[in-house]
Amino acid sequence: MATNTLLVELGVEELPPSAIDTLSDALADGIRRGLADADVGHGHVRAYATPRRLAVMIDELVDKQPDREIEKRGPALAAAFKDGKATKAAEGFARSCGVEVSDLIHLETDKGTWLGFREQQLGDPTTSLLPAIVEKAINALPVPKNMRWGASRVEFSRPVHWLVMLYGDQVVEASALGLNAGRTTRGHRFHAPEAIELLHADDYLASLENAWVIADRDKRRERIREQVLAEAEVQDAVAVIDEDLLVEVSGLVEWPVALTGSFDERFLEVPAECLISSMKANQKYFHLLDDQGRLKPLFITISNIDSSDPQLVIEGNEKVIRPRLADAAFFYDTDRRRPLADRIESLSGVVFQKQLGTLADKAHRNAAVAAFIAGRIDGDVAHARRAAELAKCDLVTEMVLEFPELQGIMGRYYATHDGEPDEVSQALEEQYLPRFASDDIPATRTGQALALADRLDTLTGIFGIGARPTGTKDPFALRRAAIGVLNILIKGELDLDLRELLELAAAQHQELPYAKGLVDEVLGYMLDRFRAWGQEEAIGAEVYLSVRARPVTRPLDFARRLRAVSAFAQRPEATALAAANKRVTNILAKQSGDVASTVDDSLIQEPAEKVLHDAVKAQHAAVMPLFSEGRYQDALDALANLREPVDAFFDQVMVMADNDAVRNNRLALLSSLRALFLEVADIAELQQ
- Tens of pLDDT, residue by residue over 208-240, are 999 999 999 999 999 999 999 999 999 999 999
Peptide bond into 434 cis (omega under 30): yes
Which residue among 336, 361, 390 closes a domain?
336
599 pLDDT above the threshold of 90: no
Q: In terms of domains, do 273 and 373 share one?
A: no
Give residue-wise pLDDT tens across range 269-313. Answer: 999 999 999 999 889 999 999 999 999 999 999 999 999 999 999
Could you count the other beta carbons within 10 Å of the beta carbon of residue 29?
15
Is residue 541 in a domain? no
Q: What is the rounded average pLDDT of the residues 96-119?
A: 84
223 lies in the same domain as 204:
no
Shared-domain flag, residues 106 and 155: no
556 falls within a domain: no
For position 198, what pLDDT does the model report?
97
Structural domain of 295: 217-336
Identify whether residues 463 and 482 lie together within a single domain. yes
Q: Is the pLDDT of residue 79 over 90?
A: no
pLDDT of 110 strictly over 70:
yes
- Cα dihedral across residues 277, 279, 285, 291: positive or negative: negative
Same domain, 225 and 204: no
Domain edge (last residue) among 210, 237, 272:
210
* Three-point CA angle 365, 430, 381, nearest 5°: 50
Q: What are phi and psi of 117, to 5 degrees?
A: -140, 135
In which band, very low, low, confident or very high, does the pLDDT at 115 lie, cut at 50, 70 and 90? Answer: confident
**356, part of any domain:** yes
Residue 141 lies in a domain: yes
Share of the chain above pLDDT 90, in %: 71
pLDDT at 688: 63
Mean pLDDT of the chain: 93
Query: Do 235 and 313 reside in the same domain of the chain?
Result: yes
Each residue of 325-345: pLDDT tens digit?
A: 999 999 999 999 999 999 999
480 compared with 583, residue with greater pLDDT: 480
State pLDDT tens for residues 143-201: 888 888 887 788 899 999 999 999 999 999 999 999 999 999 999 999 999 999 999 99
Examine the pLDDT at 670 and tell me if it is beyond 90.
Answer: no
Least confidently predicted of 105-119, 127-141, 480-494, 607-621:
105-119
pLDDT at 601 over 90: no
Q: Does the pLDDT at position 614 exceed 70?
A: yes
pLDDT recorded at residue 618: 92
pLDDT of residue 106: 87
Please say whether the dihedral angle defined by the alpha carbons of residues 531, 536, 537 and 540, taken in this order, is positive or negative: positive
99-108, 344-353, 594-603: which is most confident: 344-353
Percent of the chain residues past pLDDT 70, beyond the cut: 100
362 and 465 together in one domain: yes
Q: How many CA atoms lie within 13 A of 421 on its CB side?
A: 14
Calculate the alpha carbon distances from 371 to 10, 315, 380, 494, 505 in Å: 60, 53, 8, 15, 12
* pTM for this predicted structure: 0.81
* Confidence (pLDDT) at 48: 98
Domain presence at residue 540: no
**Better-predicted residue by pLDDT, 422 or 581:** 422
Give me the count of residues in the chain.
688
Whether 98 is in a domain gets the answer yes
Most confident of 243-252, 571-580, 660-669: 243-252
* Contact criterion met (CB below 8 Å) for 62 and 42: yes
Based on the fold, state whether residues 23 and 115 are members of the same structural domain: no
pLDDT in tens, 486-528: 999 999 999 999 999 999 999 999 889 999 999 999 999 999 9
Q: Are residues 131 and 99 in the same domain?
A: no
> What integer is the mean pLDDT of 465-481?
90
What is each CA distance from 514 to 10, 356, 420, 452, 509, in whole angstroms?
A: 53, 13, 39, 22, 11
For the segment 15-62, what is each residue's pLDDT rounded down to a tens digit? 999 899 999 999 999 999 999 999 999 999 999 999 999 999 999 999
User: In this structure, are 61 and 76 located in the same domain?
Assistant: no
Domain count, the chain: 5
Whether residues 440 and 505 fall in one domain:
yes
- Exposed, middle or buried, 362 (CB in 10 Å: 0-12/13-18/19+)? buried
- Using only the alpha carbons of the chain, give its radius of gyration: 36
Contact 228, 300 (CB under 8 A): yes
Q: Which pLDDT does position 667 carry in this prediction?
A: 85
Could you read off the pLDDT of 406-449 as tens digits, one per residue? 999 999 999 999 999 999 999 999 999 999 888 999 999 999 99
Please check whether residues 486 and 417 belong to one and the same domain: yes
